[in-house]
Every structure is written in C-alpha cells, then in structure tokens.
C-alpha cells in the first residue's frame, strides 16, 4: 500500500504532465492535400487526402522542386496539392468549446510570376479568413508559406475576426474560393485546439535580394583605400616619358643648328666683299 504523500506526488506529476500536453496544443485534424499520409518533423500526423477521387484534382507536380523554408522530410507536404476549377473545401471537426488555430500550408509550384493564381479562403461559408492570396507574391516559387487562422467555438457558435456564425453538427466548412485568376488550391492543413503560441512556425523568410547581398564578398576598408589610392612608381626608376626627354630636346634644336650652319658661310662671304 503506497503512502498517501507518495500518491499525491504521483498525481501532481500527472496533472503537470497533462497541463504540458494541453499547452502544446491538441491536434484535432490534419490532411496532406493531394497526397498520402505523412508525419512531419514536429510529430504532427497528416492523414491521406479524404477527397481522393471525389472533388478536384490531386497533383504532385511540386515534386520537381526542392521546397524552401522547410526540412527535407517535410517537402512532401508542400509538393503535393489539391486544386479545383471551382470552389471546394473540407469539413473541420470542432468537438468541444474552446480556442482553435487552423494552419494552412501553401506553396506555388507552377507559376513563375505574381498575379497568376489569386483566391480567398473562407470559414463556415461566412468568414473570409484569407483574402486575395497570391502565394508567389508572398514568397516566390517553390517556397513554403503558412497562414494561421485563430478562432473560438462557444455554445454552438463560431467566433472569428470579431464575427460569429452558427455551427452545425460540430463541424465547420473550410473552403477555397474560385476567383478570376486560375484555380484555388491547398497543399496541407491542420487544426489544433490551442492558441497561436502552440503553432510551430516556419523560419523567417529571406528575401532573394538579401540572399544576393549575403552572397557578395565583403571588401575590407583598408583594401578599398588601397584600391582607390593612386599607384606610386619607384622614384629611382624613370618613367617612360622621362626616358625620351633628351631625344625630344635634340629634335627641337636640330633646325636651329641647321640655320646657324648655313648662315656662317654666307657671313664669311659677305666679309670678303
């Protein structure tokens, strides 16, 4: 029979452990859109796309690319996708009241310029949570981009961005809205019960111009001054123009000598007259 204080100690540790798990966020639903099941480097298990063979088009065109901002193990989450020529979406289960965060994973794997694919993301058919999303414009081609959508569920209602709507059968609709510029898409997503602090974020984006500047070798200030300083020639070595100065002076005086030489005989002849 364990002593009472020992039981209380074990119970305290269990409660602390459960609190730690809760603070890390509980994954409710995760899908690798257009792809197979995958567990990422954060331990989140993404299910195989439930829309396979039902709605839209599953594509692995992104496997031609290496994806920036994520470790190699998680490239697959951004290389596969589901897109559709019309609006499409998924049902998100919200089993209890509380705070939730929806993490949406995107990557532009096809277009090579901005303003080619632009669309909205809507929750529960009423709340636009991502407007005019242009993935290429956000991060360029072949680079991971995540959007985070916090919301709250309370007594059968959804609260997001200061607005509310009714929830039916403990599910809310996640939709990608067809616009005028190509087709809406999603690479992967997951829903947690928790806050934004519980979401593992992507590393900061390095702008292409910044990468270019970082790749340039730095020039030491002393080296710069040395390059800008006029070249000094050794004093004991004459320059090329100086080496030819005597010859230049002789060429100038030669006509004078000729005139003097011609004038002397004439002067001598005149003196005899």
What pLDDT digit, counting tens, does each position of 21-36 carry? Answer: 333 579 999 999 999 9
Tokens standing for residue 61: 């065109």
What is the pairing mode between strands 45-48 and 26-32? parallel
Q: Which residues of the chain have pLDDT under 70?
A: 1-24, 207-273
The pTM is what? 0.69
pLDDT, one tens digit per residue, over 221-243 is 444 444 444 444 443 434 434 44
DSSP percent split of the chain into helix, strand, coil, nearest 5: 30, 30, 35
> Residue by residue, what is the 3-state secondary structure of 117-175?
CEEEEEECCCEEEEEEECHHHHHCCCECEEEEEEEEEECCEEEECCEEEECECCEEEEE
- With 0-12 / 13-18 / 19 or more C-beta atoms within 10 angstroms meaning exposed / middle / buried, residue 121 is buried
pLDDT confidence of residue 206: 80
pLDDT confidence of residue 25: 79
pLDDT confidence of residue 161: 94
pLDDT confidence of residue 267: 56
- With 0-12 / 13-18 / 19 or more C-beta atoms within 10 angstroms meaning exposed / middle / buried, residue 70 is buried
């Amino acid at each position: 029979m364990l002593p009472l204080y020992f039981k209380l100690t074990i119970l305290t540790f269990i409660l602390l452990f459960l609190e730690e798990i809760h603070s890390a966020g509980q994954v409710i639903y995760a899908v690798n859109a257009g792809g197979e099941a995958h567990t990422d480097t954060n331990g989140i298990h993404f299910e195989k796309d439930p829309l396979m063979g039902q709605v839209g088009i599953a594509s692995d065109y992104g496997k031609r690319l290496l994806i920036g901002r994520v470790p190699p193990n998680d490239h697959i989450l951004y290389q596969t996708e589901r897109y559709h020529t019309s609006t499409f979406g998924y049902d998100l289960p919200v089993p209890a009241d509380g705070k939730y965060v929806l993490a949406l994973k995107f990557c532009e794997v096809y277009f090579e310029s901005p303003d080619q694919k632009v669309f909205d993301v809507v929750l529960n058919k009423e709340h636009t949570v991502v407007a005019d999303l242009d993935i290429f414009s956000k991060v360029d081609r072949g680079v991971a981009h995540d959007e985070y959508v916090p919301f709250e569920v309370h007594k059968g209602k959804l609260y997001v961005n200061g607005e509310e709507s009714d929830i039916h059968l403990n599910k809310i609709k996640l939709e990608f809205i067809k616009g005028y510029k190509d087709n809406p898409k999603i690479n992967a997503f997951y829903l947690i019960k928790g806050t934004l602090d519980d979401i593992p974020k992507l590393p900061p984006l390095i702008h292409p111009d910044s990468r270019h500047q970082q790749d340039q070798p730095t020039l030491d200030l002393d080296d710069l001054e040395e390059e800008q300083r006029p070249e000094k020639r050794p004093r004991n070595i004459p320059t090329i123009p100086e080496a030819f100065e005597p010859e230049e002076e002789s060429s100038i005086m030669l006509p004078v000598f000729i005139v003097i030489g011609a004038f002397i005989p004439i002067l001598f002849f005149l003196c005899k007259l």
